[in-house]
Structure formats: structure tokens, C-alpha cells
Amino acid sequence: MRKYLRENEKPYIILSAAMTIDGKIASKSGDPELSDEEDWKEVHKLRTQVDAIMIGKNTVLTDDPKLHIKYHQHDGYYRIILDSKLLIPLSSKVITFQPELYPTIICTTENVSPQRIKEFQEKNVKIIQSGKGKRVDIVKLMPKLSKLGIKSILLEGGGTINWSFVKNKLIDEVRLTIAPWIVGGKEAVSLVEGKGFEFMKHSLKFELVSVKHRANYVILKYKRKNDK
Ligand SMILES: NC(=O)c1ccc[n+]([C@@H]2O[C@H](COP(=O)([O-])OP(=O)(O)OC[C@H]3O[C@@H](n4cnc5c(N)ncnc54)[C@H](OP(=O)(O)O)[C@@H]3O)[C@@H](O)[C@H]2O)c1
């Protein structure tokens, strides 16, 4: 059983996502188009307030996002990708789009080849190796990110990395946009995937901080209840 990290050893983590009424963050074919323009403006505002945005490898592969800011003035931030085997293409937009404003860090394991690391470094990507397991050890990763001066991270999914953060009790805040749709499908990615906890008493607990609605969208903010 892992020990909790002390607050100052980890960045503050805000889980942010848009989901359907039935908790899906993409359709079964991987269509992620849930937000409207107003929602993107709000999410981009939130991006101006953090030191880094983090996503998982599959989100890079399916959506190829830029993880930039369109609507507000800002000084940039880190883009962080979890990719245990360094499989994302070097042509991904998180690498090629405005790297001077949004430097990219790829977090991987100690099992990857020095040659593959070099290919990314030549594109000015910083590589952080964390753990020797199959996947990036995110608990060991947290102090490494703190040392780089990263005090806050907007965790923008998908469901698989969200579960890793939930399982390790690393989430401090949640910001959700609920689109008024139901899409269904076992194959459609949910807000949090993974194995899940056995019992409700093991779940992460949150306090509702605010409820807003705009048109047919609901925006919910939660803060983690202190269960330490
Ligand atoms: N609506 C929204 O707000 C929103 C936001 C983001 C994403 N999405 C959608 O979510 C979908 C992708 O979600 P997903 O669950 O398939 O993938 P994901 O969470 O984006 O990426 C998961 C992958 O990250 C890698 N990884 C490395 N270290 C990990 C760790 N410690 N824990 C977990 N994963 C780790 C793993 O691949 P390796 O083992 O190969 O490294 C894993 O398969 C896409 O369809 C995207 O459109 C929606």
C-alpha cells in the first residue's frame, strides 16, 4: 500500500473534463466533441492558471490535440504526456505546435531505449523516466515534476490516466462540464476507467463547491475532502 504524498511533494491536481450525462468522455468511435465554444473559453481560462496540462498517450493518438490557449493572454505552460513506451509520433502536435510557448515533457519508464529518447530530445522534448514497471510510476513522478517548479497541473484525461490518479489519491479538485447528451456504449471511454474500487467507502470523496448552468450545459466544481 502506497503512502500518501505530503502536499508540498506534489503539484496541485485539477481533473478537468467534458462528459455526457452518462459519464462518457468520448463516443465508442473515439469522437470527443462534447464542448461548445463557451466551454472551451472557460477551459482555456483555467489553462492560464496552471503550470502544466497533462494527458495520456491514447488521447494524443486519437485526438492529436495542440493543448494551447486560443482565447486569452498568457505566458504558456508545460504540456505533459504519459507514454510508457515512447510510442507517440514525433509529428504529434503536442511536439510540433509552438514548443517555445508550451514546452513538452514526456513521462516514460526506465525501460525505453536511449535511441528513442534521443529522437525526442532532438525535437526539444524533455524526457522524464519514472519507474521500471509497465507504466509510468506517477507517484514517483510527482516530486520530479515539483522540482521543475510545476505547482499545479490540469489533468485533461483520458479515462485511463484519470483512474491512475484517482487510485493513487492524487486528485485535489474536479471541474466537469456535463453535455446534455447520452451516448452509451461499453466501448465508449468513461471519465474514469481502470479497475475501480471494490466498495464505495474506498472511493475518493469530494465537496461540491459550485454548480453553474449555461444553455443546456452544467458546470460542476468539487474539492477533495480531506480524508488523510
Ligand atoms: N471529453 C474530454 O474531456 C476528454 C478529455 C481527454 C480525453 N478524452 C478522450 O479519452 C479517450 C482516451 O482515453 P483513454 O482512457 O483511452 O486513454 P488515456 O488516458 O488518454 O491514455 C492512457 C494511456 O496512457 C499510458 N500511460 C502511461 N502511464 C500511465 C499510467 N501510470 N496510468 C495510466 N496510463 C498510463 C498508457 O499507455 P502505455 O502503457 O502505452 O504508455 C495508457 O494506455 C479519447 O477518445 C479522448 O478523446 C476526452
pLDDT for 117-166, tens place per residue?
999 999 999 999 999 999 999 999 999 999 999 999 999 999 999 999 99
Q: For residue 40, how many other CB atoms are within 10 A of its CB? A: 14
Q: Is 17 in the pocket of ligand 1 (CB under 6 A)?
A: yes
Q: CA torsion, points 105, 107, 108, 109, in degrees to nearest 10?
A: 130
The model carries a pTM of: 0.95
Q: What is the pLDDT of residues 172-197, one digit of tens each?
A: 999 999 999 999 999 999 999 999 99
Strand pairing report for 217-224 and 206-214: antiparallel
- How far is the centre of ligand 1, averaged over its atoms, from the C-alpha of 62 (Å)? 9
- Residue to mutate, 82, 110, 138, ligand 1, most ligand atoms under 8 Å from C-beta: 82
Cβ of residue 54 lying under 6 Å from some atom of ligand 1: no
Mean pLDDT of 206-216: 95
Q: Alpha-carbon distance 172 to 225, whole Å?
A: 8
Q: Give residue 2's pLDDT.
A: 41
Is it true that domain 7-21+35-224 has CATH number 3.40.430.10? yes
Per DSSP, the three-state class of 190 is strand
Residue nearest to atom 47 of ligand 1 (CA): 32
In this prediction, residue 3 carries a pLDDT of 47
Residue 9 pLDDT: 82
CB-based burial label for 34 (10 Å; 0-12, 13-18, 19+) = buried
CA of 159 to the centre of ligand 1 (A): 6
Distance CA 173, CA 206 (A): 8
Lowest mean pLDDT among 18-27, 37-46, 138-147, 156-165: 37-46
Q: For 91, phi and psi rounded to 5 degrees?
A: -90, 5
Q: What local confidence, expressed as pLDDT, does residue 102 receive?
A: 96
